Amino acid sequence: MQLLQVLRDSSALDKVVREIEEVERFARSLSSKLISFLNQSPGNIHIYSYTGFGYSAASLLYWASLIFQGSKHPVLAESEESSIYLLPYREDYSAIVFSTGEYSKLIQSLQVLRILGVEYLAFSPTPPNEMIRNTLRYYNVELIPTNDSVSASLYTTLASFIAISEIYKSSLNIRGKRLFEHGREGFTVTVKSFIEKYSDVIEASLSKPITAITSTRFLEGAGILLSHVLRSIGVEAVYLPVEEALTYNKPLLGVFLSSEERLRREFKTQKGSNLYELVLNVEPLEGIVYTVILSYVLYKLVKQ
């Protein structure tokens, strides 16, 4: 089935929504582990580390901590960078590691954390290889019931959102309350209406010869995942930061939040032609989740 047809296939979309419901149910059990760790972990610094598409979940926790002024200083870093440049030179910290299947990087990071005596919480898809599974169990990694990197990103991103919705429910008045209510309600109830709402612009964008995707740093992790998914379903698209995208002369898709309107308009003015836009009118932190959900939906609809 062609990409532009699947978005209009209601029965196929219903099937994917049911899958997301199962993912969200399991993500709630993961979120309870995150909440416990974030509330009880020692040190003044939280390092949010990731491999692969774990970037979305790690960045969600990082931005939430900055927005809601969490009690710990947040640091966001790829796991290998963290192991080489941060962990040996910092003190008084704890770490959360999100992996989507890059097992050698993950194990190296966990070895460093163990050697340094750092308290950590790590998540990973379930490896198909028994030896790797045993190694991850040795390091007390929380295993996610999938070996697919796109699905793993959705599991951990939903878990991260549910966790922050609980932790910051009393912060920033109405914003914290709204976040909590959405975390309690979940995303399953809004997935279909979200896809239907944006299907026209998604179809219009993907019917063009898109060769790159760009976004602000806020949506970078989710944007990288989206570009990967598009490549996997036949749309050749690399991810470019906004600064690089300005000098990119081929057609590209800009993924922006409605709250980024000034930046979006400025970018559009400087970029001129060859720009197609997906503007998400949602709360910024929810925008990360919805972009991951969009990636998952496109991936599943075309692959099934």
Question: Highest mean pLDDT range out of 5-9, 105-109, 202-206?
Answer: 105-109
Tell me: do 81 and 201 sit in the same domain.
no
CA-CA distance, 223 to 229, in Å (whole number)?
10
275's tokens: 């720009």
Residue 1 has pLDDT above 70, yes or no: no
Tell me: do 127 and 193 sit in the same domain.
no
> Is 273 contained in some domain?
yes
Residue 126 has pLDDT above 60, yes or no: yes
Tell me: do 69 and 147 sit in the same domain.
yes
Tell me: do 269 and 176 sit in the same domain.
no
Q: What's the average model confidence in pLDDT over 195-222?
A: 86
Tell me: do 167 and 248 sit in the same domain.
no
Give pLDDT, residue 11.
Answer: 85
Q: Which domain holds residue 81?
A: 18-185
> Is 135 contained in some domain?
yes
> Is 127 contained in some domain?
yes
> Is 207 contained in some domain?
yes
Domain end marker among 185, 210, 244: 185
Tell me: do 159 and 173 sit in the same domain.
yes
Question: What's the pLDDT band for 49 if we cut at 50, 70, 90?
Answer: very high
Number of folded domains that form the chain: 2
Domain end marker among 169, 185, 201: 185
> Is 66 contained in some domain?
yes
Give pLDDT, residue 4.
Answer: 59
What's the CATH code of the domain at 138?
3.40.50.10490
CA-CA distance, 110 to 117, in Å (whole number)?
10
Tell me: do 150 and 200 sit in the same domain.
no
Domain end marker among 154, 185, 216: 185
> Is 13 contained in some domain?
no
Tell me: do 104 and 210 sit in the same domain.
no
pTM of the model: 0.95
Tell me: do 232 and 194 sit in the same domain.
yes
Question: What's the pLDDT band for 105 if we cut at 50, 70, 90?
Answer: very high
Tell me: do 152 and 120 sit in the same domain.
yes
Residue 132 has pLDDT above 60, yes or no: yes
Tell me: do 64 and 52 sit in the same domain.
yes
Tell me: do 224 and 292 sit in the same domain.
yes
